[in-house]
Amino acid sequence: MDQIAAGYRGVVPAGARCGGGLHGPLADRYHDVAPQVNFSALYSSPTLLKQTLENDSPRLLGNSAACEERREQLGEPHIAPLTALVRDLRSERGPDVWIPDFDPWDGGVNAEILFLLEAPGGRAVSSGFISRNNPDSTAKNFFELNREAGISRHRTVTWNVVPWYIGTGKKIRGAKQSDVAEGVDALRRLLSLLPRLKAVVLLGRPAERSAELIRSLKPDVGIFISPHPSPLFVNNKPGNRDRILAVLHAVAVYLDDGHPAV
Q: What is the pLDDT of residues 211-252, one digit of tens each?
A: 999 999 999 999 999 999 999 999 998 899 999 999 999 999
DSSP state string for 166-222: -B-SS-BPPPPHHHHHHTHHHHHHHHTT-TT--EEEEESHHHHTTHHHHHHH-TTSE
Q: What is the pLDDT of residue 38?
A: 52
Contacts of 58 (CB under 8 A, 6+ apart): 132, 133, 139, 140, 143, 144
Could you tell me the residue range of the domain that residue 86 belongs to?
A: 18-257
**pLDDT band with cut points at 50, 70 and 90 for residue 28:** very low
Write the CA distances from 94 to 26, 101, 112, integer angstroms: 43, 16, 31
Decide if 250 is inside a domain. yes
Decide if 193 is inside a domain. yes
Distance (Å, whole) CA 130 – CA 90:
15
**pLDDT band with cut points at 50, 70 and 90 for residue 205:** very high
Decide if 12 is inside a domain. no
Going 242 to 245 to 246 to 247, the CA torsion angle's sign is positive
Decide if 262 is inside a domain. no
Decide if 228 is inside a domain. yes
Among candidate residues 226, 205, 190, 232, the one with its CA nearest the CA of residue 99: 190
Distance (Å, whole) CA 72 – CA 188:
27
pTM for the predicted model, two decimal places: 0.81
- Could you read off the pLDDT of 131-145 as tens digits, one per residue? 999 999 999 999 999
Please give the average per-residue pLDDT across 155-168, as a whole number. Answer: 92
CATH (domain of 211): 3.40.470.10
What is the average pLDDT score of the chain? 83
Decide if 126 is inside a domain. yes
- Could you read off the pLDDT of 42-99 as tens digits, one per residue? 566 667 767 776 789 999 999 999 999 999 999 999 999 999 999 999 999 999 999 9
Q: How many domains does the structure of the chain reveal?
A: 1
Q: What is the pLDDT of residue 167?
A: 75
Q: What is the pLDDT of residue 261?
A: 44
5: helix, strand or coil = strand
Decide if 1 is inside a domain. no
Decide if 2 is inside a domain. no
251: helix, strand or coil = helix
